Amino acid sequence: MSFAHRHLLGIEPLSQQDIVTILDLAETYVDLNRQSAKHADVLAGLTQINMFFENSTRTQASFELAGKRLGADVMNMAMQASSIKKGETLIDTAMTLNAMHPDLLVVRHPHSGAVDLLAQKVNCAVLNAGDGKHEHPTQALLDALTIRRAKGRLHRLNIAICGDISHSRVARSNLILLGKMENRIRLIGPPTLMPAGIGEFGVEVYDDMREGLKDVDVVMMLRLQKERMDGGFIPSEREYYHRYGLDAEKLALAKPDAIVMHPGPMNRGVEIDGTLADDINRSVIQEQVEMGVAVRMAAMELLAQNLAAETRR
């Protein structure tokens, strides 16, 4: 098992083999997490700091749980209430934390590239828990694990990613990961929510959801990022739901065994019909959350191993 990366800043630097390595290790943690004794103390003695410069409940909880199950000492820092408000720069914050000798730093930041910047200034391993509109690698990995378990493979699938692509780091990381694993990707959404230059990504773009969903194996819905919008990207929520909200009727156009995914938190009745989201025959949304903990355990273990090997050298 080799994983020669200092940090997990994005999917972009990872190879196919790296991705498979993480997913395979994560599988073992899925089993562990289903037992009543959930401890594997591979991170015992290590310190994990979660720094969230942007609100998060589920991702932070998932990272915290992953660290604790692996025996790390986990500390959460609510950065919104901290010294950043007193004018301290990101780099100063990073250096201050670095002086406390953490081993794993989990960072979420509202600006693209901020986690890269921070990683340049610290000695520990950094995990990107979402930076601006750039990447959210552990989300893409947990989505990949979910797909692989549901479909039995992670290649040559037709996968539709639907909604607010342009503001979504989840979409970017998924696009890169699923592309690396050789799937056919369709992006579905109103043109105002598509990033520029999307034609050069090697994907198919649809603004008609019904057309885009035809014969897909996986339907990945995105949250409509209301808080990120300057305003005026779509006429109204109800028109959006009518044209791009996933309901049983639109899903009927996909393959009969197509699965429905959502990174959460969901806006029921905006991008997805509530009943459909709860349909255990189609929706794997709860499984995604479960996979999240396992994937984060795997990623942290691999980075810690790599860090230990580096220290020995």
135 lies in the binding site for another protein (CB under 8 A): yes
Among 31, 200, 231, 265, binds another protein (CB under 8 A): 200
Member of 27, 116, 237, 279 binding another protein (CB under 8 A): 116
Report in angstroms how near the CB of residue 116 gets to another protein at its nearest: 6
Contacts of another protein in 92-111 (CB under 8 A): 109, 111
Could you say which of 21, 112, 123, 305 contacts another protein (CB under 8 A)? 112
Minimal distance, residue 210 CB to another protein, in Å: 25
Residue 230 Cβ vs another protein, minimum distance, rounded to whole Å: 8
Q: At closest approach, how far in Å is the CB of 75 from another protein?
A: 23
Q: Does 137 bind another protein (CB under 8 A)?
A: no
Q: Which residues have CB under 8 Å from 46's CB, separation 6+? A: 71, 72, 73, 103, 104, 304
SS3 per-residue string spanning the chain = CCCCCCCECCCCCCCHHHHHHHHHHHHHHHHHHCCCCCCCCCCCCCEEEEEECCCCCHHHHHHHHHHHHCCCEEEEEEHHHCHHHHCCCHHHHHHHHHCCCCCEEEEEECCCCHHHHHHCCCCCEEEEEEECCCECHHHHHHHHHHHHHHHCCCCCCEEEEECCCCCCHHHHHHHHHHHHCCCEEEEECCHHHCCCCHHHHCCEEECCHHHHHCCCCEEEECCCCHHHCCCCCCCCHHHHHHHHCECHHHHCCCCCCCEEECCCCCCECCCECHHHHHCCCCECHHHHHHHHHHHHHHHHHHHHHHHHHHHHC
Contact call for residue 114 and another protein (CB under 8 A): yes
In the list 172, 180, 186, 296, the residue contacting another protein (rule: CB under 8 A) is: 172
Contacting another protein within 176-195 (CB under 8 A): 195
- Closer by beta carbon to another protein, 113 or else 274: 113
Q: Report 3-42 residues binding another protein (CB under 8 A).
A: 12
**Comparison of 158 and 166: residue with beta carbon closer to another protein:** 166
Annotated binding site for L-aspartate: 86, 169, 223
Residue ranges of the annotated binding site for carbamoyl phosphate are: 58-59, 108, 136, 139, 264-265
Give me the residues that bind another protein (CB under 8 A), please. 12, 89-91, 109, 111-114, 116-117, 131-135, 166, 169, 172, 195-198, 200-201
Q: Which residues are annotated as part of the binding site?
A: 58-59, 86, 108, 136, 139, 169, 223, 264-265
